[in-house]
Amino acid sequence: QGMDSTIGYTCLIGKPALDDSVIVKVLKSCGAVPFVKTNIVQSMQSFESGNPIFGVTGNPHNVEFTPGGSSSGEGSLIGSGGSTLGFGTDIGGSIRAPAHLSGCCGLKPTRGRLSNLGLQGQNSQVFCLFASIGPMAPNVDSLVLAMRALACSLMFELDQNLPPLPFNEEDFQSKMPLRIGYYMTDGYLEAVPSVQRAVRMTKELLEKAGHVLVP
């Protein structure tokens, strides 16, 4: 409430939100203290980072490189140790790419798992593309903590469009092996060697943990 959400557009300067978004309300009820909003690429539709209002955000490990996007500032802040929890939005990688490039963890939940109510955004419905809001953090345990806290009765009360599904502790604690699909290429664009190596390493670790990996 009281802050601009410009998406990098100058036409949205000086049009502050009249209320907190549902996610911010639930976070505050958990004791969280929002202290900064971070940069994004203009229009939220690129893996780069920059806009005419706030300029360019650099990678936290080498400012000559991009931190990824579109949730670029959040990835850079968390990857540099400047915050313990943040949030981005994701359609085609806008949480996952900056988490990968900046060296933190990110989760794109299923659409409708967390509330988008009160967020400033593009009219993505025109393209039948819907963004998911999701947490970004230094480690996976913090992502779990965030999802456990947010999937609560208050969020479902404030946004009744969501299915009222609390965090499923039984499923989360289950030791039952999972069947997980993966791929190394989509047949069109080859991933760079470092990404292919990351997929292979993840596959091996998951198999060692007892899960079944299916190409």
Tell me what pLDDT residue 27 has: 97
In a domain, 5, yes or no: no
Read off the CATH number of the domain in which 24 is found. Answer: 3.90.1300.10
Domain extent for 215: 176-215
Which tens digits make up the pLDDT trace of 23-36? 999 999 999 999 99
Tell me what pLDDT residue 32 has: 96
Average pLDDT, the chain: 93
User: How many domains does the chain divide into?
Assistant: 2
In a domain, 34, yes or no: yes
Residues 141 and 203 in one domain: no
Residues 107 and 28 in one domain: yes
Task: Answer whether 192's CB lies under 8 Å from 184's CB.
Answer: no
Residues 166 and 190 in one domain: no
In a domain, 121, yes or no: yes
Residues 96 and 141 in one domain: yes
Residues 116 and 62 in one domain: yes
Residues 115 and 61 in one domain: yes
Range 180-189 average pLDDT = 92
Range 97-111 average pLDDT = 95
